[in-house]
Every structure is written in structure tokens, then in C-alpha cells.
Chain A
Amino acid sequence: MSIRLESGGRLIDRSKPLGFTFDTNPMQGYAGDTLASALLGSGQVLVNRSYKYHRPRGIVASGAEEPNALVGLGQGGRFEPDQRATTTELFDGLIAMSQNAWPSLGFDAMAVNGWFSSMMPAGFYYKTFLWPRSFWKHVYEPVIRDAAASGLPPKEPDADLYEHFYAFVDVLIVGGGIAGLQAALVAGRAGARVLLIEQTAHWGGRAPVDGVEIDGQPADVWIADTIAALQAMENVTLRARCMGAGLYDHGFALGYERLSDHTPGDGRPRHRLWKIRAGRIVTATGAIERPLSFAGNDVPGVMLASAVRDYVVNFGVAPGRRTVVVTNNDDAYRTALVLIDAGLEVPAIVDVRERSDGPLARECVRRGVRAETGAAVMKVKGGKQVAGVMLCRANGTGGAGALLECDCVAMSGGWSPVVHLWSHCGGKLLWSDEYAHFYPDPSRAPTGADGAPFVSTAGAASGCMASGEVLADAAEKGAAAVGAAYSGDLPQTNDIEELPMQPVWVMPTGALPELRAKMFLDFQNDVKVSDVQLAAQEGYESVELTKRYTTLGMANDQGKLSNINGLAVLSQSLGEAIPQVGTTTFRPPYQPISFGSIAGEARGGTFQPLRRTPMHDWHEAAGAYLEPVGHWKRPYCYPKPGESHAEAVAREVKATRASLGMLDASTLGKIVVKGPDAGRFLDMLYTNKMSTLKPGRCRYGLMCNENGFLMDDGVVARLDDDTFLCHTTSGGADHVHGHMEDWLQCEWWDWKVWTVNLTEQYGQIAIVGPNARKLMESLGGMDVSKEALPFMGWVEGELAGFPVRVYRISFSGELSYEIAVPAGQARALWDAVLADGAAFGITPYGTEALHVMRAEKGFIMIGDETDGTVIPQDLGLDWAISKKKDDYLGKRAQERSFMTRDDRWKLVGLETLDGSVLPDGIYAVGEGENANGQRNTIGRVTSTYHSPTLGKGIAMGLVAHGPERMGEVLKFAATDGAMIEARIVDPVFYDPDGEKQNV
């Protein structure tokens, strides 16, 4: 069982005990502990159950690579599943729950899965659960889904906040071990803007734990001095608890800073996502130790040798009292020495190599440790805790071996550089036979915008294993990042000679199937050596296929421990060299990052920018029901207490038609087009001729894209000889402006035309209804008589003391004035209109009343009558298409064969026989079915409303040969199969002669 040692622990403060609970059991740790070290310090070896077989699992590692120790952390709005205990800093009151066990971690009912594990090899689910067909959805899948995964979903919205930071640096250095520090020192001294980030709360990485001495002193001293030196440099920024999460094209990198995970609820944002643009990036991300594949390597108490050392040295925690070290390299002997120094037992070091007499081994022997060379672990004894190991010959088949009692196994299969960030953006790897690992190929680095490499690696991430090499490499890379060669002195280290490691992928090498079926590669996903071998046997030979077939490396740790071992087993099965088999692709993020941090501040009301008209506050205060229109929110209607939306719309329409209504039309696009060639330009842009428009007059225009389809419409006013004001739809303003600029800049760049989007510079108020002129007169200041301001005219002047431009245009069929006023004065004018309009019962109306009134008049609406497949000719708008022009955008497209067919669906009005409202989007059916068995259709409804004015349903639609079929009754198919009959009528339902608007 694991224990807290009486002394030691360089990272903990024994004067600051912290209380926490695990599965509701109160436990204690110290400031500086991780949750993992505190659990081990409290004797909690069993921390989880595996994914598939629910095998008991303990802590394996001490950092980001931990596959097992995932817990549910916190409660309520601060609950988070799958929190990695090894990277969770302990705080007072921390609440952690184990995840994958029921009823309890110690007794897990689902552990019965383990009995049937031989029935559940890799990919078994592809071969069964086939019959009966309905059982997959109703029986098998629900059971599998409930059994799968471990973390619980949060129940409440997140109680925390997140933020984004932007950083622009010359050099980003990822990793604050001695390599990162050294690289930062060199780059910082050269004057570069340097950002150095480190994922843990501590600087210096492994060096202090590994007993490294630099310049004759313990590494801690050099680390502290270097930090002090870096902090003194203004051009260098240091961030601990900030992980390099991902590398992207052109020097973009993500930093994930865990600001207050260890101080929850202190008012700071929880996470901060750094969006970094770096000229050069140095990844000093270290290396990760590999497990060994022996039977029972997943029993709680089997740990990485380096992690065992970490817990003893950093936290004063002994993972076990009696630890057997199993290794294929010299580095693990350091663990034995650390354990002995801490007064713990090391009954044996099991070394697969026939020869092991390096300095570290000799020191162990001198300290009385038995070294078994050419030996292997045949299997681990124990269930919820290691009880011992059976030993055997390394190159045998297993056989009966001697039992060695112990409560902890420290394993080391060698080290793999952390190449994730290097690989994210295309960096390639080389295979080292010496260390049996992949390391970055400097000649195939990720390249940036200039085609030159922008990422390099430093230290262990480069594949340097001795600290002297690490520091030299880091100095060189730090200098190279600022375009220099390193020429200074290098710190001196106490590197101890190590004998070559000997790769061993299966232990013992000739292990029989029953042993291979208990050798775990991916601990969380329960992928064993036998599974990878089965995948190869069945033809899933590519490493990507093996991964997908077995789920190797697809768990929360994304294969940090399992990838190399897995592909080595695969390559052996295929009889190919490891480099030929290759690796799976490394993808961001390095470790999982919270969705909250990715979203940042943009949540709730600030989720997207909100565009507000000058009258927005008034609408809200008036209780308007708002609808999103692009980034605007527009009043849909203004319901009175107790009134439904439909009732409000009807009231607004009736009041407007009877007397007076007003509309906030500010969102309408307003683009000024100016210059000697403005008329010529608009002639190309609109289907009709704008150059002939007289100053003082307005004209309705249609705009198509080059593919011929109707894109936008609106009223164009000619302000003077070379100035036009183009109104666009609310949603289309930015797009239309971009469209104009595209043609001006990229096609007709010699034309003298300038455009400005003035949409937000003006508020616009429509005054609509038979009493509109009376209200205008009451507001006073300008002549709004029919003579002075005729229909489709505009004037500039002063209205009620406001500088305005008034357009006599109508989208409702009523007498109507649209008043543009500088945005800053729009609300005041709105209030003035309301006040004077009270005498006429003025009624503000919303977008729905607007739509109803335009439909009553048979006016088309972009987005309703058009959908990107409709050309103006379909809508009977031929009158707005100039026949005199040689060219306009879309003209050539409209000449294509499908566009000129005479059976295109064309605009008509529709009325049900019983006066009811046709459903939205309903289709008119023809005879029979098409070749695919679909009912033939001959038309569809594009707009449909209840007309309060006419007291019946009215609709517009597109119908094959529609205009030639006036009076015909069509059948429309409701979704329930019922047929609704409607008659083809003229689309102008109200005031067909335009008498109301032209008074």
C-alpha cells in the first residue's frame, strides 16, 4: 500500500495540510500535492475501473500521460468529469468521485465483464449483435452506451468564466524544464520577445527528480537562478500552468492557461486561452516514459519507474513499501536508488538485458539491490493491488517462474520524446534504433508562410537523453530561433554514463496467448497485445486501421503511453520495421482543453455581436417580440398584454391601413455609390437601367449574381448627377456592399466610382397609412404635398427640426414616407413622430405586419419568393429587366437553356377555396411519380399569411405555367397526406390599381 513518507517532498508544504474527499471518504494532503499524490499519500491505490472489462486500475504516471486516474471533480455548476488526478492541483475542500464503478470502486458489478474478456477481443462488436435487426437500436446499443465511457455529464450550466488572450512574440517556447529555460535564456538575451509557457505549476521539469547537477549544484539552484534571470528581462514573459495545446499554420499556437482550477470560485476566470502568433516556436516538451507489456501490467501498483521516483522526490509519497523495478534501460535504476534513499525496499531489479553493469547498476548492487539480468516479469499477481511478480527468462515463453512478493512494480520501457506539437503542423519524425523511439527530423520541420521551418525542438523533445546534451541542444535551438548560432559557454552537468537500452515490446518475448491477452497497451480502453495482433491477423494492417479497429490510443490520454508500444507490436506481427509501419497522426490538443476556454467570453448575450438600431431600447421597453435578422434584432410585433403575436400583427396591419402606422426601418441597407461612372456601374449591377434615373427620383431595382439568380432588391434614389443611394435588404447590406466593391476593384477598376456603406449612419422611420401626410404636416418643416413630393420622389429638408431626407416610397401599398435621419437623432425623431402621431392613433408595427402588407400587395420578399434558385423572370419582374442593355450581372447566365425553359415555375397569387391559410412551404402536386418514386410537383407556396385586411388567407407561390393558368384550382399536399385546394389568382390582393399609395 502507498504511504506518505515521514520526510521529503520538494514540492509540498507539510505545514499546510489540505482536506479533500474521494468517493466521500475524507482524506488529507498538503499544499503542493497533486490529487494523485494526495490519493497515494492517503493509501488510495485503486482509483478507477477500466472502460471495457472494469478491471481495477491505479495511478500509473505522474503527469499528462496518466491513463487511469480520471475522476469526477467538484459539484453542481463546477462539476467536471474526466479530470486527470495527476494534473489536478490539490486544494482545500476538493471533492473527487471515482467514475466507472457501481456500486463502488472496490466492488464493481460490471467487473463480470472481465470473466468474459475472451469473448470480447478487438472489434468483437463488428461481428455480433447483428440479429434481430431492431435489437441494435433497442437492446444492444443502449446497453453498450450505458456501459461505455465513465465520466458523468454535468447537470448544470458552467459557473465559471473564461477569457482569451492574444500574444505576438518572436519566440514561443513550450515547456519549462531545463531545456525550455535554457532556450528562453539564450533567445531572451538576444533581445527577442519571448513567451515561455509551462503546463505544470513548477519550473524545471524532471531534472531535480533525476538528480541532475548543473555547474556543480543541484538542478534546483540553476533553475531558480535562471528563472530569476528571465524574470529580470522585460522582453521575456513566463507563464506557468499554461500548456501548449496546439500548433497551427503560420506560427499560430494555442496556450491553455489554468488560471483558477486550483482556486475555484476566487473570482478569476477559470481558463484563459492564449492565441499566440510566434515567429519561431521551440517545443521543449520533454519525453514520456513507456510502460512494458507484461501480463498484469495494469494491476494497481504497477507504475512507470519515473512516476514512482516523482512521487517519492516531489511529494514524499511512496507508491509502495516493496517495489520491484522492471526495466530495459539504465534510467530506471535511478528509481531504485531513490527508493532506497527513502528507506524503502527494492527486492530486485528485473532487467531484460543480459548485461547490466553500468555505473547506475553498479551503485544499486553496491547498495545491496539484487539485479536479475536477462529476466522478465511473466505476470503480476494481485487484484486490486500488486501482491507480487512472477519472474521468467526475458526471451522465453513464460513458463513457471519464481514469485517475488512486492506491493509496487516500477516499470520502464525507455523514453519517447513528446513530439505532438512538432507533428500538429506537419513536422516529420525519424526512428532511433538506439533509443527505440521516434524523434523529430529537423530537416522536415513544419514550414511557415515564408516556406522556412518555424518549429524546432529542444532537449528531450529532440531525443536528447542526457542533461548535458539537453542543455546544449536547447542553447543551440534558442539561438537558432533568433537567427543566430550559439557561441557561449554551456552549463556543465554530472551526466552518468548509461548502457544502451534494449527494446522489448512483449515480455517475455515468446509469451503465449494467455499471457498476451493480459498485457495491456492502452490501459483506459483495455487494448491488449493480443488485440493488436488480432487486428494484424485480420488484415487491419495500417497503423490507422489497427488503431480504429482496436481503439488503441483513442482514449482520454490519446495514446501517450500506448502508441509506440502498440505500433511496435503491430510491426512485429506484420514482420515490418517500425518506421515502415509509422505512427498515427498527432492532433491537437496535446491534452484535452475545456470547451469553455475555446468559447471564451462569447456566451449568452455576448455570444455574437448585437447590432442595435437607434430605436432598439424603445422597442424593448415597448415589449416588442424581437426576432434575429442577421446580427440585428428587429421587432416582429408589439404584443399588448394578453395579446397573441398573431393578434398583435392583425391589429398593427389594420391600424396602419385604417389610419397610421410606423416602422423602424433603420436596418435597411444604405449604400452610397458616387462618381462619374456611377450610373454606368449601377446599370451593370441592377437588371434595370439606373443611369436614366433623374435626380430627385427613386426606382426599384433588382440585383442578380453572375449566376443569374436574384440576390437582392431595393429602391435606388438618385441624389445628384453622380451620386446614388442604393437601399438593400436588411440582411443583405454588407454582402451587397462587398459585391459592389468586388466588381469595382477586381473587374472595372478603371471606372471612377466610390461606394460607402452608410447603413448605420442613418436611422430610418417609415410613416405609413392614409393619415401619413397629415402627420408629416403636423411634424412640419417641409412641403410633403403630392406635387412637391410625388410617389417615387424624395426631398431633403427639415422635419420637426430634424435634418432629414424623405423618400416617398411604399412597401405596404399605403401612402408612405420613409424618413432618413442621422442615427444620433433618430430616437428623438421617433419620439416626436410617436407624440404627434397619437392624434391619429399611430401604431408601431413590426416585421410581420410589414410582411403581411407587402404580401397583400403582391410585392416579393428576398428570401421568401427567392431562395437562390429563382431568377427575376420567374417572378414576373420582366418589367424591371432592361431590354436595352447589352450586359448586366447575371444576364448571360439567364440565357442558359434551363433558365429559358417555358415550364419554369412562375409567380402567382393563391387563395384557398375556403379562405384558410395555406401552410408555409407547401407543394402543389401534379400527376404521378417521377422515376425515383417521388410524387411529381408543379408548384409551391413561397409566402402565406392571414390577411387581416381581407379577412382570409392569401399566398404567393411559384407554379409551372402559373400566370397562364389563372383561376385554375391546384391541389396542395399537407404533410399528413390531406390535399388542400387553392385557386391561382393575381398576386396583387389589395388595391391592384395602386390608388392608396399614389395620393
Chain B
Amino acid sequence: MLILTCPYCGIHCDETELANGGEAHLKREGPGSSDDAFEAYLFDRDNPMGVHFERWRHANGCGKWFLAARDTVTMEVFGTYKAQSIEPPAEIVERIRAKRPDWEGRA
């Protein structure tokens, strides 16, 4: 039963307030993209046992989408940040590296 802090409204959300939106930081591929790129965009997923960057919506709350870095095995949350991010904020990456020295970074 996760609790994630919504970076917009600041509420510590019970997971029943949230809707998960899958892997974060996927780059949209539209018309003109290769079959490989389009398939990867829609379906290939990191699915790591460990640090996962993922999308959440504070659906039963402020309605905002946000992103989270979470360990899928221990459920540790390294931080949440706004959906309008091309990549994870440096301080979250630093925090992950400090706690998971073996982490190889995002695939």
C-alpha cells in the first residue's frame, strides 16, 4: 500500500488516490518513425527489479500527473517530481546513486 507525495499539491497520497500510468520518460514516436522505434515506444519496457521511473496521476485528488522513482522490490521511493520533466531531477538521481551504488542508470 504505497504512499507517494504529489509534487503539485503536496499531499501524501494513499495509492487508492492514485492511478498508475506505466513507465516514465518514454519518447513519443509518431508518423515517420521506424517500425522498430514505434514498437519500442509502445511496448518495450524496462520492467526492472529495482529502480523504476514511472508515471502516476493523482486521480482522486488534484488530477495532476507526476513521476516517481521507486524500487519495485523494496518499494522505497527515491522521490516524486513533476511530469513536465525530460529526465529525472539530478538530486533524485544522486539519491539513488547514494543508496544503490550498483545502479546502472536508466536503460
What is A's interface to B at a CB cutoff of 8 Å? Answer: 248-252, 277, 426, 447-451, 706-707, 738, 741-742, 745-747, 749, 886-887, 891-893, 895-896
CB atoms of B76 and A742 under 8 A apart: no
Given that A250-B3, A277-B3, A745-B65 are known contacts, is A887 also in contact with B59, CB under 8 Å in the complex? no
What separation, in Å, do the CA atoms of A484 and B3 have in the docked complex? 25
CB atoms of B76 and A449 under 8 A apart: yes
Residues B26-54 near A (CB distance < 8 A): 28-33, 35, 38, 42
Nearest chain A CB to B52 CB, angstrom units: 14
The 16 listed contacts between A and B (C-beta, < 8 Å) are: A249-B1, A251-B3, A252-B1, A426-B74, A448-B76, A451-B71, A706-B28, A742-B21, A745-B84, A746-B21, A746-B65, A746-B84, A747-B28, A892-B32, A892-B33, A893-B42
Given that A450-B77, A896-B35 are known contacts, is A741 also in contact with B30, CB under 8 Å in the complex? no
Given that A249-B1, A250-B75, A893-B38 are known contacts, is A451 also in contact with B31, CB under 8 Å in the complex? no
CB atoms of A746 and B3 under 8 A apart: no
* Chain A residue contacts of B21, Cβ below 8 A: 742, 746
What separation, in Å, do the CA atoms of A426 and B32 have in the docked complex? 48
What separation, in Å, do the CA atoms of A426 and B77 have in the docked complex? 16
What separation, in Å, do the CA atoms of A426 and B99 have in the docked complex? 19
Residue of A nearest to B75 (CB): A249
What separation, in Å, do the CA atoms of A451 and B21 have in the docked complex? 23
* Chain A residue contacts of B83, Cβ below 8 A: 745-746, 749
Nearest chain A CB to B25 CB, angstrom units: 10
In this assembly, does B2 line the interface, its C-beta being within 8 Å of a C-beta of chain A?
yes
* Chain B residue contacts of A891, Cβ below 8 A: 30-31
What separation, in Å, do the CA atoms of A426 and B74 have in the docked complex? 9
CB atoms of A449 and B77 under 8 A apart: yes
Chain B 74-92: CB-based contact to A (< 8 A → 1; otherwise 0): 1111000001100000000
Residue of B nearest to A248 (CB): B1
Nearest chain B CB to A252 CB, angstrom units: 4
CB atoms of A745 and B99 under 8 A apart: no
CB atoms of A250 and B31 under 8 A apart: no
Q: Which of B33, B38, B76 contacts A451 (CB 8 A)?
A: B76
In this assembly, does B63 line the interface, its C-beta being within 8 Å of a C-beta of chain A?
yes
Residues B12-32 near A (CB distance < 8 A): 14, 19, 21, 28-32
Known: A738-B59, A741-B65; 8 extra A-B contacts, CB below 8 A, are: A447-B75, A447-B76, A448-B75, A451-B74, A738-B57, A746-B21, A746-B55, A887-B30
What separation, in Å, do the CA atoms of A707 and B57 have in the docked complex? 21
* Chain A residue contacts of B55, Cβ below 8 A: 746
What separation, in Å, do the CA atoms of A893 and B38 have in the docked complex? 8
What separation, in Å, do the CA atoms of A257 and B31 have in the docked complex? 58
Nearest chain A CB to B12 CB, angstrom units: 9
Nearest chain A CB to B106 CB, angstrom units: 17
Residue of B nearest to A741 (CB): B63
Given that A746-B55, A886-B31, A892-B38 are known contacts, is A449 also in contact with B65, CB under 8 Å in the complex? no
What separation, in Å, do the CA atoms of A249 and B4 have in the docked complex? 12
Residue of B nearest to A886 (CB): B31
Nearest chain B CB to A367 CB, angstrom units: 54
* Chain A residue contacts of B76, Cβ below 8 A: 447-451
* Chain B residue contacts of A887, Cβ below 8 A: 30-31
Residue of A nearest to B32 (CB): A892
CB atoms of B35 and A449 under 8 A apart: no
CB atoms of B19 and A738 under 8 A apart: yes
CB atoms of B84 and A749 under 8 A apart: yes
CB atoms of B42 and A706 under 8 A apart: yes
Nearest chain B CB to A643 CB, angstrom units: 42
CB atoms of A449 and B57 under 8 A apart: no
What separation, in Å, do the CA atoms of A449 and B33 have in the docked complex? 39
Nearest chain B CB to A312 CB, angstrom units: 43
* Chain A residue contacts of B71, Cβ below 8 A: 451
Nearest chain A CB to B29 CB, angstrom units: 7
What separation, in Å, do the CA atoms of A251 and B63 have in the docked complex? 25
Nearest chain A CB to B107 CB, angstrom units: 20
- Count of residues in B whose CB is under 8 Å from the partner chain: 29
What separation, in Å, do the CA atoms of A742 and B67 have in the docked complex? 12
* Chain B residue contacts of A451, Cβ below 8 A: 71, 74, 76, 99
* Chain A residue contacts of B77, Cβ below 8 A: 449-450
Residue of B nearest to A707 (CB): B42
Residues B55-69 near A (CB distance < 8 A): 55, 57, 59, 63-65
Nearest chain A CB to B45 CB, angstrom units: 14
Given that A746-B83, A749-B83 are known contacts, is A449 also in contact with B3, CB under 8 Å in the complex? yes
* Chain A residue contacts of B75, Cβ below 8 A: 249-250, 447-449
The 10 closest A-B pairs by CB, nearest first: A252-B1, A451-B76, A745-B65, A749-B84, A249-B75, A449-B77, A746-B83, A250-B3, A248-B1, A887-B30
CB atoms of A742 and B33 under 8 A apart: no
What separation, in Å, do the CA atoms of A186 and B30 have in the docked complex? 61
* Chain B residue contacts of A447, Cβ below 8 A: 74-76
Nearest chain A CB to B14 CB, angstrom units: 8
What separation, in Å, do the CA atoms of A450 and B69 have in the docked complex? 12
* Chain A residue contacts of B19, Cβ below 8 A: 738
What separation, in Å, do the CA atoms of A746 and B3 have in the docked complex? 21
Residue of A nearest to B73 (CB): A426
* Chain B residue contacts of A252, Cβ below 8 A: 1
CB atoms of B38 and A742 under 8 A apart: no
What separation, in Å, do the CA atoms of A812 and B23 have in the docked complex? 42
What separation, in Å, do the CA atoms of A337 and B31 have in the docked complex? 86
Residue of B nearest to A745 (CB): B65
Residue of B nearest to A750 (CB): B84
* Chain A residue contacts of B35, Cβ below 8 A: 896
What separation, in Å, do the CA atoms of A401 and B29 have in the docked complex? 84
Residue of B nearest to A425 (CB): B75
CB atoms of A745 and B64 under 8 A apart: yes
* Chain A residue contacts of B38, Cβ below 8 A: 892-893, 896
What separation, in Å, do the CA atoms of A742 and B65 have in the docked complex? 7
What separation, in Å, do the CA atoms of A887 and B29 have in the docked complex? 10
Residue of B nearest to A885 (CB): B31
What separation, in Å, do the CA atoms of A581 and B14 have in the docked complex? 38
What separation, in Å, do the CA atoms of A738 and B59 have in the docked complex? 8
Residue of A nearest to B100 (CB): A451
CB atoms of B84 and A250 under 8 A apart: no
What separation, in Å, do the CA atoms of A892 and B28 have in the docked complex? 11
Nearest chain A CB to B86 CB, angstrom units: 11
What separation, in Å, do the CA atoms of A747 and B27 have in the docked complex? 9
What separation, in Å, do the CA atoms of A406 and B75 have in the docked complex? 55
Residue of B nearest to A755 (CB): B63
Q: Which of B2, B32, B99 contacts A449 (CB 8 A)?
A: B2
Nearest chain A CB to B17 CB, angstrom units: 13
Residue of A nearest to B35 (CB): A896
CB atoms of B33 and A741 under 8 A apart: no
* Chain A residue contacts of B30, Cβ below 8 A: 887, 891-892
Residue of A nearest to B21 (CB): A742
CB atoms of B57 and A250 under 8 A apart: no
* Chain A residue contacts of B64, Cβ below 8 A: 745
Residue of A nearest to B5 (CB): A449
* Chain B residue contacts of A277, Cβ below 8 A: 3, 14
What separation, in Å, do the CA atoms of A741 and B63 have in the docked complex? 8
Which of A451, A738, A749, A895 has the most C-beta atoms of chain B within 10 angstroms of its own C-beta?
A: A451
* Chain B residue contacts of A893, Cβ below 8 A: 38, 42
* Chain A residue contacts of B33, Cβ below 8 A: 892
Q: Which of A248, A251, A450, A741 contacts B57 (CB 8 A)?
A: A741
Nearest chain B CB to A687 CB, angstrom units: 13
What separation, in Å, do the CA atoms of A451 and B1 have in the docked complex? 15
* Chain A residue contacts of B1, Cβ below 8 A: 248-250, 252
* Chain A residue contacts of B3, Cβ below 8 A: 250-251, 277, 449
What separation, in Å, do the CA atoms of A717 and B31 have in the docked complex? 28
Nearest chain B CB to A609 CB, angstrom units: 12
* Chain B residue contacts of A707, Cβ below 8 A: 42
Nearest chain A CB to B27 CB, angstrom units: 10
What separation, in Å, do the CA atoms of A426 and B75 have in the docked complex? 11
What separation, in Å, do the CA atoms of A745 and B49 have in the docked complex? 28
* Chain A residue contacts of B65, Cβ below 8 A: 741-742, 745-746
Residue of B nearest to A254 (CB): B1
